[in-house]
Amino acid sequence: MKQKTKQKMVTMLLLGMLVPGLVSCGTKKGEQAPVSEMEKKETVEVTVFAAASLTETLTEISELYQKERPEVKLIFNFDSSGTLKTQIQEGAECDLFISAGQLQMNQMDSSADKEANTEGLDLVQQDTHIDILENKVTLCVSDENKSDIQSFDDLAAALKDGNVLMAMGNSDVPVGQYTRKILNYYELDEEKLASSGVISYGSNVKEVTTQISEGSVDCGIIYCTDAYSAGLKVTAYATPEMCGQVIYPAAVMKTGEHQEEAKEFLDFLQTDECMKIFEKVGFSRVG
């Protein structure tokens, strides 16, 4: 009887040693449980160079896209279109470029008119260059401003009299280029105005917007979208006769490694869901 009891105890002990091994045979010690097919996909980093005026909208849209395409990580570089164009031209990796002006895009597109593509650059992936958004150029007056500027006519008169300080973008910044057209419309000499101290410059539209918000200038010319984002009141809108249409072109770039994923994101930006986000701050769909 004692012998049988002893044998049972030995058998139970052996089974106790075997069971943990059997339970863990599907997953080795230190290994994680099997992952889903979605988790197995490698993360793809898509680099997007975009005009500074798109910062808020693209940041919001990226959160939506992350839910739809979790395997795609969007890396943004926001700055003036001129600066971004220079970076791409100098070899920076960029999958998708969204400019605040046609000039910078055409300078890199071999299919553009030779007068626009003066350097013969061929950095734009053909058949991806599209006009995606339209913006508006606006005059915003600082809360600290004591003058009574209510229109572009008032601004032109104040600039001539030399009793106002206006902020505008640099010459390589689209918003600065649109502002220059407005000055030409009023037959104002920018160089003379700058030398007389009535113009303050910003390297991109965000810097111009900050100068207005902080009251370091009396007024400035920015996009209506930036005025909305900064909580500034728009005093006047520039007409197409003053500076033309403000069109934002986009294109997949040859300098990137993920052109297919960039094209898919560009398609996503044109959906009704994304357009509602753009329109909320003042952009409108082209066409």
Three-state secondary-structure class, residue 156: helix
Tokens coding 154: 């008032």
Chain Cα centroid distance, residue 97: 9
Pairing type for strands 246-252 and 130-135 reads: antiparallel
Output the tens digit of pLDDT for each of the chain's 287 residues: 445 444 544 444 444 454 444 444 444 444 554 544 444 568 999 999 999 999 999 999 999 999 999 999 999 999 999 999 999 999 999 999 999 999 999 999 999 998 899 889 999 998 999 999 999 999 999 988 777 899 999 999 999 999 999 999 999 999 999 999 999 999 999 999 999 999 999 999 999 999 999 999 999 999 999 999 999 999 999 999 999 999 999 999 999 999 999 999 999 999 999 999 999 999 999 97
Read off the pTM. 0.80
Judge whether 188 and 242 are in contact, CB under 8 Å: no
Three-state secondary-structure class, residue 255: coil
- Report how far residue 139's alpha carbon sits from residue 220's, in angstroms, rounded to the nearest whole number: 6
pLDDT tens per residue, range 61-97: 999 999 999 999 999 999 999 999 999 999 999 999 9
Judge whether 218 and 86 are in contact, CB under 8 Å: no
Tokens coding 93: 């990796």
Query: How many Cα neighbours within 13 Å face the side chain of 218?
Result: 18
Quote the strand ranges of the chain, DSSP E.
44-51, 72-79, 96-98, 130-135, 137-141, 166-169, 199-202, 219-223, 234-237, 246-252, 284-285
User: Which amino acid is present at 12?
Assistant: M
- Report how far residue 225's alpha carbon sits from residue 47's, in angstroms, rounded to the nearest whole number: 23
- Report how far residue 75's alpha carbon sits from residue 256's, in angstroms, rounded to the nearest whole number: 12
User: Which amino acid is present at 191?
Assistant: E
